[in-house]
Amino acid sequence: MTTYYVASFHTVSQALRFEKLLQAKAIPVKMIPVPRLISSSCGIAARFEAADYPKVVSLLNAEEGDAYEIYLFTSEGKNVQAERVWKANS
């Protein structure tokens, strides 16, 4: 089973700032198209490893990033599931 997290954003510029923030904190991040499981709109999302989730949420809670939502993805073969685990205060 594979487990990872995906952060979504309102704008592409927010996604790119988030990528720079994680890179500056030495947190590996990969920019990907927004998965269809979480949105049908076009856009960019940030994928990061499960081990980095506590660090990422800590940054977001300290208002150092502009992510809108974070989803936990689990995949086993072709079966992929997503569950929202964090949402920004609106």
- Give the model's pLDDT for residue 42: 77
CATH number at residue 38: 3.30.70
d(Cα 47, Cα 73) in Å, to the nearest integer?
10
| Residue range of the domain that includes 65 | 2-85
Mean pLDDT by 10 residues, the chain (90 residues): 96 95 98 92 93 97 92 96 92
The Cα-based distances of 86 to 18, 27, 76 in angstroms read 15, 18, 23
Burial of 29 (0-12, 13-18, 19+ CB in 10 A): buried
Q: Is residue 78 part of a domain?
A: yes
Q: Is residue 57 part of a domain?
A: yes
Q: Is residue 90 part of a domain?
A: no
- The answer to whether the CB of 44 falls within 8 A of the CB of 34 is yes
* Count of structural domains, the chain: 1
d(Cα 17, Cα 74) in Å, to the nearest integer?
26
